[in-house]
Structure 1
């Protein structure tokens, strides 16, 4: 028997596949591959309007089908929250996060990679824009080194659950509000 989170992920994958088939059936050109964009001084989080450049920790961007620009998230927890909600059925073209082994934690810029190929650290002593975060890494060895310094546990993309992407109480951790 499948767990509820496993069923949600399967529904999301099926919705994405169905949308791709519908687009092809309508005779429309498929969208080109999305390329990560860079944070600018006015880049704001889609959920709360916070300016990404003003906060530490890993950031994320989601490209939805039919949209040329990404929706930005000031934290990876917010990204996972958006993707793992049961009502999320919009087809996703690409999801990018930052490699925190390469990006500066306090002022992260660049070092974007496909979020689905990464590893994440939950429960570390490092905080992102809204408190506890899921630190993103391209390489497992970098995530393991981060765990040795800051604690936490390693997770693959598919292992992140809705419970780990809980946004309740995030504002309590924001010291800049």
Structure 2
């Protein structure tokens, strides 16, 4: 079995090498490399943007859904050179954006919500670094796009959630593009 190779402007890199950058480097540099081989000097992790919160009018970058109208973990990316973050109504969308081969914008910071502290049905605040978070894949709890990657700050909280709702605990680098597949998310959205 061969490791898939992804083509980017600077060279040929395997998914394993790109994910390795994300783990080995500070968030800004690691995700900038992961986000399409952009100039890794553009993201200054020492001055990474602080997480922002959303309000009733904040919409998702990918589909325009209002974040406040849906349950489950939310996410945000702060792109280098961009004053405001972009928000995602689901962590699956965050990974879809970060793992997309066509992603070329340098990422300064990425955050997800700690669902060990946030209310699942009305999540607000409790932002944590996306790279250091733990994720539960395959649980019975759904987010705005259906099956989601529940995010947690601690191993204990992630394991407790998995024991109660099913699924398995994963680290950031273990999330694959297949886990971030957005096709079919609308099948689970009963509010559309």
Residues matched between the structures, number = 170
Query: How big is the shift at 1:87?
Result: 1.2
Question: What stretches of structure 1 of length at least 5 have no aligned partner?
Answer: none
Q: Please show how residues 94-173 of structure 1 align to structure 2 within 5 Å.
A: 94-173=109-188
Structure with the largest fraction of strand:
2
Compared CA separation, residues 14 and 47, structure 1 to 2 (3 A): closer
Q: Please show how residues 19-30 of structure 1 align to structure 2 within 5 Å.
A: 19-20=40-41, 23=42
Query: How big is the shift at 1:6?
Result: 1.5
Query: How big is the shift at 1:15?
Result: 2.5
Once superposed, which parts of structure 1, at least 4 consecutive aligned residues long, lie more than 4 Å away? none
Compared CA separation, residues 132 and 32, structure 1 to 2 (3 A): same
Query: How big is the shift at 1:129?
Result: 0.2
Contact 2:36-2:101 within 8 A present in 1 as well:
no
Compared CA separation, residues 2 and 71, structure 1 to 2 (3 A): farther
Provide TM-score, normalisation by structure 2.
0.82
Contact 1:121-1:147 within 8 A present in 2 as well:
yes
Correspondence for 1:12 among 21, 34, 40: 34
Contact 1:8-1:84 within 8 A present in 2 as well:
no
- Structure-1 separation of matches of 2:70 and 2:184: 17
Provide TM-score, normalisation by structure 1.
0.89
- Structure-1 separation of matches of 2:89 and 2:65: 7
Question: What stretches of structure 2 of length at least 5 have no aligned partner?
Answer: 5-14, 22-32
Structure with the largest fraction of helix:
1
2:47 is paired with a residue whose SS is coil
